[in-house]
Amino acid sequence: MPEDRFLPPSLAAEARRVAWTIVNRLDDDDAVHQAVRRTANVAGVAPDWWGGAKLYGGNAGHALMLRYASRVARTSADRWRDRSRDILLRAISSTSERPPAHGGLGEGTAGLALVLDEFAADQPGYLRVRRQADRGLLQQVARASRGGSAVDPAAYDVVTGSAGILGYLASATTLDVDARVTAAGLIDGLVRLYGSPPGPPLKTTETCPDRAVDLGLAHGLAGHLAALSLAWNAGLRRPGQRAAIRSLASYLRDVAEEDAWGRIWPRRTPIDDSLPDQLPHKPMTWCYGAPGICSALLDAARALDDPDLTAAAVMSFESALRRALHGDGEPRTVCLCHGWSGLLTICHKFAEHGGSQNARAALTPLTERVLSHCSDDQALIVRTVHVPGTYVDSPSLLDGAAGVPLALWSVSTSVPPRWRRALLIG
Ligand SMILES: [Zn+2]
């Protein structure tokens, strides 16, 4: 399959050139350390905000990026394979000093295990250490499940909670019996949130302490829907799971609003009349709003084998594209989490698996938007918005520079973008 099947050849070549420029900058330890220190000052956070074994904001994320560099490289694959191994070892050795505090995907053991699984896909020798990480992960999940009875939304989300851990397990190349049992428990826990038969989600003050339901992929219902659907599609199936997928998908469709551009979602929706109606989330991003929600709906449509839901997900995503490119939905930054790279990545999914011609056509302008944020003059080539008006140089995978080359390679090379599982983009 030609590498530039999605983009004009000159744009694909430019996307690859810029991706390599970012990778080379991030491969400079001094440049990264200086950026991390500068960002800590600007953002007023501790200097160890970046690093350790974290996938979203540390060495595991860089190891993943460098592993893809070795797959994309034509003449220097060995060099990048060695470099990715060095950074992976740095991530692993950091766990003796800073063991992951929880099993979560973004900063915990599941994220590191996911990266080890990527390495094992090329070199099966890594499977042994991935299984070690899995054993630690399963123990953390077991300990967390023995915790208190109160429902903490973070315990169920993609970034730190069970949805992210389930997303990793559902995407792993192999699973042993113990991991399958743990995955079953995580599915049951998510299904239980919605009762039997599944009802409107999380609509009590006990389960929703701030009186609003988070709808986004990163921390809310779309994340639960993506995890349950990806697990179902991977053959991890439990009683009540399909009904919960159906209920969540229906709920998300029902709470969408409609304006001149099409469907749009707020970040959260109130559980009663005590809060005013929430404003729609305008930037078209992965963490909140239409793109992340539509991605989850597309995975649910596959789980339910529901062509009507597929059509609804595609139609809503196409309106998100129009809003981002021509309306009031421009992402304000370039990263995966809430920037153009995340929208480009989800658009690629809809171009490949949603059969959307409009998504296919939008890959060119979206790639151009990503590239327009990249400049050799910036410390890490791209800058990201910390708070409105304040830019930082972040080397992170999720909300910094390291995710950008992965998004650009997805549309400009023939290397399969399996890394998307790190965001539960199926
Ligand atoms: Zn975000």
Alpha helices in 211-261 (DSSP H): 221-233, 241-254
Q: What is the DSSP letter of 333?
A: B
Q: Please tell me the distance between residue 10's alpha carbon and the centre of ligand 1 in angstroms.
A: 30
Distance 153 CA to ligand 1 centre (A): 17
Is the predicted pLDDT of residue 319 greater than 90, yes or no?
A: yes
The alpha carbon of 86 and the centre of ligand 1 are apart by a number of angstroms equal to 29
* Cα distance between residue 199 and residue 201, in whole Å: 6
CB burial string 307-319: b at 16+ within 10 A, e below: eebbebbbebbbb
Measured CA to CA, the distance from residue 54 to residue 36 in angstroms comes to 14
* pLDDT tens digits for range 6-36: 899 999 999 999 999 999 999 999 999 999 9
Measured in Å, residue 158 CA sits from the centre of ligand 1 at 12
Three-class secondary structure assignment of 250-281 = HHHHHCCEEECCEEECECEEECCCCCCCCCEC
Long-range contacts, 134-140 (Cβ 8 Å, 24+): 134/176, 134/178, 134/179, 135/178, 136/100, 136/109, 137/103, 137/108, 137/109, 137/110, 137/113, 137/165, 137/182, 138/178, 138/179, 138/182, 140/100, 140/102, 140/103, 140/108, 140/109
What's the average model confidence in pLDDT over 346-361?
94
How far does the centroid of ligand 1 lie from the alpha carbon of residue 204, in Å? 26
* Residue 314 predicted with pLDDT over 90: yes
Using one digit for the tens of pLDDT, what is the confidence trace for 124-136? 999 999 999 999 9
Distance, in Å, from the CA atom of 288 to the CA atom of 271, rounded to the nearest integer, reads 18
Query: Rounded to the nearest 5 degrees, what angle is found at the Cα of 43, between the Cα atoms of 42 and 46?
Result: 105
Q: Tell me what pLDDT residue 1 has.
A: 46
pLDDT, mean over the chain = 93
- For the segment 278-291, the average pLDDT, to the nearest whole number, is 94
- Residue 319 Cα to ligand 1 middle (Å): 20
Q: Determine the pLDDT at residue 206.
A: 54
List CB contacts of 152: < 8 A, sequence separation 6 or more: none
SS3 58: coil
Q: Dihedral sign, CA of 289, 245, 190, 57?
A: negative
> How remote is the CA of residue 132 from the centroid of ligand 1, in Å?
31
Ligand 1: distance of its center to the CA of 82 in Å? 31
What pLDDT is recorded for position 389? 78
Distance 246 CA to ligand 1 centre (A): 26
Residues 110, 127: Cα–Cα separation, whole Å: 14
Return the SS3 of 290.
Answer: helix
Helices 221-233 & 162-171 angle (0-180, nearest 10): 20
pLDDT of 158 reads 97
For the chain, give the percent of residues with pLDDT over 90: 82
What's the rounded mean pLDDT across residues 215-229? 96
pLDDT, tens only, 47-91: 889 999 999 999 999 999 999 999 999 899 999 999 999 999 999
3-state secondary structure of 213: strand
Mean pLDDT of 381-388: 86
